[in-house]
Amino acid sequence: MASLASDFVHRLADPVNQVSLLSIGVAVVLVAYLFLSSADSSPGKLASVVYYYAAFAYNCFLKPHTGDGTGNQQDALESFYKSQAPIYDATRQRLLQGREDMLALVAAQVKHRRDTGRIGKKPIWVDIGGGTGFNVESMGQQLDVPTFFHAVYLVDYSPSLCEIARKRFERLGWKNVHVICQDARMFRLADYEAGVEEDKRDFSIGRPAYDEDARDAVGADVLTMSYSLSMIPDFHPVIDSVTNLLAADGIVGVIDFYVQNKVEYFGRNYMGGAIDRHCMWISRVFWRTWFELDRVNLDSARRDYVEYKFGTILSTNRRCRLMGFRIPYYIFIGCARSTGSSLNQVAQADAAVTESPFISALDLQSKSVRGRRSSSIERRSKAFDTAVVNLAASLPLPAAYYQNNKNRIYYDATLQKHRQFNDEYIYAFTWEDSRMDARLLKINGDDVILAITSAGDNILSYALERPKRIHAVDLNPSQNHLLELKIAAFRSLEYQDFWKMFGEGKHENFHTLLIEKLSPHLSSVAFDYWLHVGPSTFDPKSKGLYATGGSRHALLLVSWLGKLLGTTEDIKKMCEAQTLAEQRDLWNKRVRRVILSQLLSYFVIGSERFLWKALGVPGEQRAMIEEDFRRQGDRADNMKIGTPAEKKSGTGEAGEVGQVKSGQAIWNYGVQTLDPLVNETLLSDDNHYYLLCLNGQYTRRCHPDYLTPKAHIKLSTEGALDNIRIHTDELAEIFARMQPESLTIAVLMDSMDWFTPSAPDAGVQARAVNRALKMGGRVLLRSAGLNPWYIKKFEESGFSAKRVAARIPPGTCTDRVNMYASTWICTKQAFLPEEEEITEKKA
| 260 and 138 in a common domain | yes
- In terms of C-beta density within 10 A (0-12 exposed, 13-18 middle, 19 or more buried), how is residue 531 classed? buried
**Residue 809, preceding bond cis, omega within 30 degrees?**
yes
DSSP label at 632?
A: G
- Does any domain span residue 793? yes
- Does any domain span residue 272? yes
How does pLDDT run across 600-610, given as a tens digit for each residue?
655 555 555 55
Has residue 92 got a pLDDT over 90? no
Where is 242: in which H helix or E strand? helix 235-245
| 691 and 740 in a common domain | no
Mean confidence (pLDDT) of the chain: 82
Has residue 504 got a pLDDT over 50? yes
Has residue 198 got a pLDDT over 80? no
* pLDDT for residue 437: 94
* pLDDT for residue 590: 84
- In terms of C-beta density within 10 A (0-12 exposed, 13-18 middle, 19 or more buried), how is residue 739 classed? buried
| 427 and 380 in a common domain | no
| 347 and 215 in a common domain | no
Task: Indicate the pLDDT class of residue 185, thresholds 50, 70 and 90.
Answer: confident
Lowest mean pLDDT among 108-112, 204-208, 437-441, 515-519: 204-208
Q: What are phi and psi of 779, to 5 degrees?
A: -115, 125
Sheet of 151-156: strand order equals 177-181, 151-156, 124-128, 220-226, 246-257, 325-336, 310-322
Has residue 41 got a pLDDT over 90? no
Q: In the chain, how many domains are there?
A: 5
| 386 and 252 in a common domain | no
| 322 and 347 in a common domain | no
* pLDDT for residue 82: 53
**Percent with pLDDT over 70 in the chain:** 75
Higher pLDDT among residues 827 and 358, named by residue: 827
Which of 128, 138, 71, 76 lies closest to 104 in space, CA to CA?
Answer: 138
Has residue 588 got a pLDDT over 80? yes
* pLDDT for residue 75: 47
Q: How many residues does the chain have?
A: 843
- Does any domain span residue 518? no
Contacts of 503 (CB under 8 A, 6+ apart): 697, 698, 700, 703, 707
- Does any domain span residue 185? yes
Higher pLDDT among residues 195 and 50, named by residue: 50
- Does any domain span residue 650? yes
Has residue 510 got a pLDDT over 90? yes
- Does any domain span residue 508? no
Has residue 708 got a pLDDT over 90? yes
Has residue 27 got a pLDDT over 60? no
Question: Which pairing describes strands 799-806 and 246-257: parallel, antiparallel, or unpaired?
Answer: unpaired
Which of 333, 334, 324, 322 lies closest to 97 in space, CA to CA?
Answer: 322
Has residue 65 got a pLDDT over 60? no
Has residue 836 got a pLDDT over 70? no
Distance CA 253, CA 315 (A): 10
* pLDDT for residue 20: 57
| 807 and 706 in a common domain | yes
| Residue 133: strand, helix, or coil | coil
Q: Which amino acid is located at 825 in the chain?
A: I
The parent domain of residue 619 ranges over 552-695
Residue 145 and residue 152 in contact, taking contact as beta carbons nearer than 8 Å: yes
Has residue 168 got a pLDDT over 50? yes
Domain end point (choices 695, 723, 741): 695
Q: What are phi and psi of 774, to 5 degrees?
A: -70, 165
CATH number of the domain to which 455 belongs: 3.40.50.150
| 806 and 667 in a common domain | no
| 74 and 106 in a common domain | no
| 817 and 670 in a common domain | no
Distance CA 397, CA 209 (A): 13
* pLDDT for residue 38: 46
Task: Indicate the pLDDT class of residue 372, thresholds 50, 70 and 90.
Answer: very low
Has residue 366 got a pLDDT over 90? no
Domain end point (choices 70, 92, 114): 92
Residue 753 and residue 624 in contact, taking contact as beta carbons nearer than 8 Å: yes
- Does any domain span residue 510? no
How does pLDDT run across 449-494, given as a tens digit for each residue?
999 999 999 999 999 999 999 999 999 999 999 999 999 999 999 9
Distance CA 714, CA 709 (A): 9
| 637 and 584 in a common domain | yes
Bridge partners (DSSP) listed for residue 318: 329
Terminal Cα-to-Cα distance of the chain (whole angstroms): 95
Domain end point (choices 29, 64, 92): 92
Q: Which amino acid is located at 778 in the chain?
A: R
- Does any domain span residue 3? no
- In terms of C-beta density within 10 A (0-12 exposed, 13-18 middle, 19 or more buried), how is residue 354 classed? buried
Residue 801 and residue 824 in contact, taking contact as beta carbons nearer than 8 Å: yes
| 357 and 264 in a common domain | no
